[in-house]
Amino acid sequence: MSNIREVSRAAGVSIATVSRAISSPDKVSETALKKVYAAIEKVGYRPNMMARNFRAVRAYSIVVLVPNLSNLFFATVIRGIEDAAQQKGYAVLLGDTRDSHDREQEYTRLVETRQADGILQLRPHTPGKSLEPDSGMPMVSACGCENTPYPSVRIDNTGAAREIVDYLITQGHRRIGVLAGLPDNPHSNDRLQGYRQSLENAGVPFDPDLLVNGDFTMGSGQMAASHFARMKDRPTAVFSMNDEMAIGCIQGLKSAGIRVPEEMSITGFDDIEFARYSDPPLTTIAQPAEELGRASFNTLLELIEGKELQQTETVLPYEFVVRKSTPALRR
Amino acid sequence: MSNIREVSRAAGVSIATVSRAISSPDKVSETALKKVYAAIEKVGYRPNMMARNFRAVRAYSIVVLVPNLSNLFFATVIRGIEDAAQQKGYAVLLGDTRDSHDREQEYTRLVETRQADGILQLRPHTPGKSLEPDSGMPMVSACGCENTPYPSVRIDNTGAAREIVDYLITQGHRRIGVLAGLPDNPHSNDRLQGYRQSLENAGVPFDPDLLVNGDFTMGSGQMAASHFARMKDRPTAVFSMNDEMAIGCIQGLKSAGIRVPEEMSITGFDDIEFARYSDPPLTTIAQPAEELGRASFNTLLELIEGKELQQTETVLPYEFVVRKSTPALRR
DNA sequence: CTGTTAGCGCATTCAC
DNA sequence: GTGAATGCGCTAACAG
């Protein structure tokens, strides 16, 4: 493997000149530049980034902590991260934690041992259970919630949920089921607040029987469906907190002989691509997933570079998408 | 940031002893060990991996090249890669190439510049268009095909396709549409061969009108549906080369007023989680996605470590999964 | 078993 | 503009 010294020999200049020719060509004479470039070509030189980064005390890479890469919303956020990182010359280290605290801890070590410069956390912050923000470790939440205790990028989850439930009420629904995440999930809680606000505005009392806790998988959506199907006083609509659960729920309802959307409307959240191809296509909240990724990377980069953050919280706009899963209620 | 020298001072031993205490404790006396560990604790030492890797001339990381991270099959393969890599102390650098040859080239540089030790390629090899295998660059295909010109892990795509089409024939079908990838896609070609073999075995002539080229997205499946719907002599079944296109196709057929599976059976490939929640649930080929990832990483690791490969091609078993999208043809 | 020392490839400081 | 020399943190060779 050729190094800078070989190039210097081939070019007949010092290694300092070669180094300068590469990183600050304006400080080198035309003639020297030409010789260096020719020599680089000749010996097939590729700079050793490990050495360069080692000296710069900068890994030029970040870690992405994601609970589950097979979640399409997360995968899309990561694409955005990767896009922004690539533009800025950073590499993205994948940390699929599989919801394991140990694995999360393990990946944290990459930063402590200088293999990475910072962390992008896709799991929303749960006090006690989550990685606590550590002043020495640059960390940004790419899918924040109302109480993220460190810099974050997010949408207004509560507002989005309120908007979607408001719409269901407009369509004539009063008994609206809610398919939430686990009770300690921050996204779920933010969205649940929007649900409750919407009901309250409409003068509809909150009925705990209508709340089912899932875990954002299609399987849990399917389980929830049998709960709703068995109820004596069934909801006429269900607000699911992500598209996967909504899709699982639709499948479960159909299996139970309930027609969707004729007998039960359903809404999702995220607007993954499958939402459009579901039967019926899902009314949902389109999150700017790639943009969340890009913005969170840029925030993290500022942190890494030691800049003062303009804003510790970035709230991006979402879009409410109406499809066929929510027709007007016929009575 | 504390380094090995600080530890040595705090422990009252030389830096060599500290280094040995960490990497080969059996070569250090009990007393020295204790002092070193105490000192590490005291100064909060974390080894600088950049320095260590630099010296070892090993990045302990690999690059995964994936055309599109939002493809669930790929995402699952990557989870397997990540799992195996983590166990062996390797980090996974994400290279979402977005089907861009330039980006692929860009990521290749990570290996040339020693930021990574090897490449795991998820895109099947297309002669001319793909990264050509370079003896200096360890590279393994995680989703290989019949003619991958470098080490690969794969399933028997042709056999799987044959099996699925055989089954459709058993169910009474004779006019079987095929929803393929682009004409130069190797996976598509391997599977198409299986399709043709099956037809030939059954004495059914190949009808080019029944072949539609998609691009493995749901959108292209939907487009294909309108082609099939418009045909005067429609197929009674469609073999789609992945689940996404099958799901898009179902949606398109339903929109065109064709009932699935009553009027048209359909099969997928991959067995992504959505296949089970599709309406109707898809008959498909379950690829051992995570295992493909794990196995390909282990192969790559052997290459990186300079071992002689036992086998240059690993063929893993798939599973044929029958669901409700393929009832027996009623005539 | 332990300490001293050289050197990995590079950027940078300081003379010239 | 250019070159010689230094050191980043670590491991390994060598000497004791």
User: Choosing among A40, A48, A49, which should be mutated to test the B contact, i.e. which has the most B CBs within 10 A?
Assistant: A49
pLDDT per position as a tens digit, A218-247:
999 999 999 999 999 999 999 999 999 999
Q: How many domains is chain A partitioned into structurally? A: 3
What confidence tens digit (pLDDT) does each residue in B312-323 have? Answer: 999 999 999 999
pLDDT for res B134: 78
Nucleotide nearest B26 (Cα, C1'): C1
Q: Are A173 and A329 in contact (CB under 8 A)?
A: yes
At A28, which CATH number? 1.10.260.40
Who among B110, B114, B254 is closest to A279 (CB)? B254
Same structural domain for residues B183 and B246?
A: yes
Distance CA A58, CA B254 (A): 55
Q: What is the DSSP letter of A31?
A: H
Q: What percent of chain B has pLDDT over 70?
A: 99
| Residue A217 maps to a domain | yes
Please give the residue range of the domain that contains residue A52. Answer: 4-56
Of A296, A303, A306, A319, nearest to A154 (Cα)?
A296
Higher-pLDDT residue of A310, B20:
B20
Same domain, residue pair A78 and A147: yes
Q: Is B150 exposed, middle or buried (0-12, 13-18, 19+ CB in 10 A)?
A: buried
Convert the pLDDT of each residue in B136-157 to its tens digit: 899 999 999 998 999 999 999 9
Nucleotide with C1' nearest the A28 CA: D1
* Band (A130; pLDDT cuts 50, 70, 90): confident
> Is residue B191 domain-resident?
yes
Cβ separation A70–B61 shorter than 8 A:
no
Residue A171, classed as helix, strand or coil, is coil
How many Å apart are CA A243 and CA A269, to the nearest integer? 5
B281 and B171 in a common domain: yes
> In terms of domains, do A91 and A177 share one?
no
3-class secondary-structure state, position A311: coil
State what percent of residues in chain A have pLDDT above 90. 94
For residue A205, being part of any structural domain is answered with yes
* Alpha carbon B37 to chain centroid, angstroms: 42
CA of A65 to C1' of D6 (A): 39
Please report the pLDDT score of residue B127 as a whole number: 83
Q: What is the DSSP code string of B148-203?
A: -SS-EEEE-HHHHHHHHHHHHHHTT--SEEEEE--TT-HHHHHHHHHHHHHHHHHT
Mark the nucleotides of strand D covered by protein, meaning any atom under 7 Å from a CB.
1-5, 7-13
Asked if the structure places residue B226 within a domain, the reply is yes
Q: B13 pLDDT exceeds 70?
A: yes
Q: Are residues A249 and A131 in the same domain?
A: no
**Pair (B116, B222) in one structural domain:** no
Residue A182, pLDDT score: 95
Size of interface A-B (CB pairs under 8 A): 132
The pLDDT tens digits of the residues spanning B180-211 come to 999 999 999 999 999 999 999 999 999 999 99
Give the model confidence (pLDDT) of B102-141 as tens digits. Answer: 999 999 999 999 999 999 999 999 887 777 777 789 999 9
* Mean predicted confidence (pLDDT) in B173-178: 98
CATH number at residue B104: 3.40.50.2300
Per-residue model confidence (pLDDT) at position B331? 65
Q: Is pLDDT above 90 for B178?
A: yes
The answer, yes or no, to whether residue A204 has pLDDT greater than 90, is yes
The answer to whether position B148 is within a domain reads: yes
| Residue B234 neighbours by CB distance under 10 Å | 16
Instruction: Answer yes or no: is A170 within a domain.
Output: yes
Eight-state DSSP code of residue B307: P
Confirm whether A328 is domain-assigned.
no
Chain B hits for A106, Cβ within 8 Å:
86
Long-range residue pairs from B32-37, CB within 8 A, at least 24 positions apart, any chain: B35/B11, B36/B7, B36/B11
Q: Are residues B173 and B65 in the same domain?
A: no
Question: Which residues, in sequence order, are CB contacts of A198 under 8 Å at separation 6+?
Answer: A161, A162, A165, A166, A169
What are the φ and ψ backbone dihedral angles of A171, each rounded to 5 degrees? -75, 0
Within a domain: A294: yes
Residues A103 and A214 grouped into a single domain: no
- At B91 the three-state DSSP class reads strand
CB-nearest partner of A46 from B92, B113, B218: B113
Spacing of C-alpha A246 from chain mean position? 19
The closest alpha carbon to A159, from A124, A188, A191, belongs to A191
Q: What percent of chain B has pLDDT over 90?
A: 94
What is the average pLDDT across B43-62? Answer: 97
Whether residues A69 and B61 touch (CB distance < 8 A) is answered with no
Of the candidates A272, A271, A270, A253, the one whose C-alpha atom is nearest the C-alpha of residue A262 is A253
Q: B293 and B147, same structural domain?
A: yes
pLDDT of residue B133: 77
